[in-house]
């Protein structure tokens, strides 16, 4: 996942999916847009469900030379030969790197914490993700500030992902300061997620 001038796209799967339909939906999005990585983010700890989903998505992603990582499950990433793991607890980066080796993708979600991001980077993370980029309501102040992305882009070389509650205005504002946009819930509820992604990126 190399840095470029224009932010790349990083897709986050829905927390629930119908494996009879979602792989085809994902394929249409990947065929319509250049995607750097897909994250399997099912809201379950059921190893069988996760493995079946990972196998189905890997068939789609690897046919298009797109990396596939899974939330948190280092053992399953290793067993299924996935490209890496996305950690929602950044303190486990070092252990994941040791288990998966130097070539695997190890990323860490760090909410809005500069300290957690720096610690994850020092522990060997390939990227850090900050978010959500705005609150769900005007009263919600639990989000990663734009200044964090600006500071990170100026000071730190480790790639950064902006994710969570993205809209066209946020994408335009953060494009100069982020390496990837992590997009998921913003498009999966649409009748045509590929078209929804096109619309979301219209101002870039």
Which range marks the domain in which residue 153 is found?
8-200
Cis-peptide into 132, omega within 30 deg: yes
- Cβ atoms < 10 Å from Cβ of 177: 18
Domain assignment of residue 90, yes or no: yes
pLDDT of the chain, 204 residues: tens digit per residue: 444 478 999 999 999 999 999 999 999 999 999 999 999 999 999 999 999 999 999 999 999 999 999 999 999 999 999 999 999 988 899 999 999 999 999 999 999 999 999 999 999 999 999 999 998 887 788 899 999 999 999 999 999 999 999 999 999 999 999 999 999 999 999 999 999 999 999 998
Domain count, the chain: 1
Query: Angle formed by the axes of helices 22-32 and 47-63, to 10°?
Result: 30
CATH of the domain at 51: 3.20.20.70
Q: Is residue 167 part of a domain?
A: yes
Q: pTM (2 decimals)?
A: 0.95
Alpha carbon of 105 to those of 58, 108, 141, 182: distances in Å? 15, 10, 31, 15
Within a domain: 1: no
What Cα–Cα distance (Å) separates residue 133 from each residue in 1, 78, 122, 124, 129?
A: 21, 31, 24, 24, 10
Indicate whether 2 belongs to any domain: no
């Amino acid at each position: 996942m190399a840095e470029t001038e224009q932010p790349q796209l990083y897709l986050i799967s829905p927390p629930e999916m119908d494996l009879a339909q979602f792989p085809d939906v994902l394929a249409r999005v990947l065929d319509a847009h250049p995607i750097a990585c897909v994250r399997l983010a099912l809201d379950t700890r059921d190893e069988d469900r996760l493995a079946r989903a990972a196998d189905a998505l890997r068939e789609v992603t690897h046919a298009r030379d797109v990396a596939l990582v899974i939330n948190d499950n280092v053992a399953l990433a290793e067993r299924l030969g996935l490209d890496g793991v996305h950690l929602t607890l950044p303190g486990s980066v070092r252990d994941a790197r040791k288990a998966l080796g130097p070539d695997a993708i190890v990323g860490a979600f760090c909410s809005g914490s500069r300290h957690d991001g720096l610690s994850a980077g020092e522990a060997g993370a390939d990227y850090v993700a900050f978010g959500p980029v705005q609150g769900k309501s005007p009263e919600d102040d639990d989000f990663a500030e734009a200044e964090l992305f600006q500071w990170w882009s100026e000071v730190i070389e480790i790639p950064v992902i902006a994710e969570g509650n993205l809209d066209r205005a946020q994408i335009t504002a953060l494009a100069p300061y982020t390496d990837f946009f992590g997009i998921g819930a913003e498009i999966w509820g649409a009748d045509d997620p590929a078209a929804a992604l096109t619309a979301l990126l219209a101002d870039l």
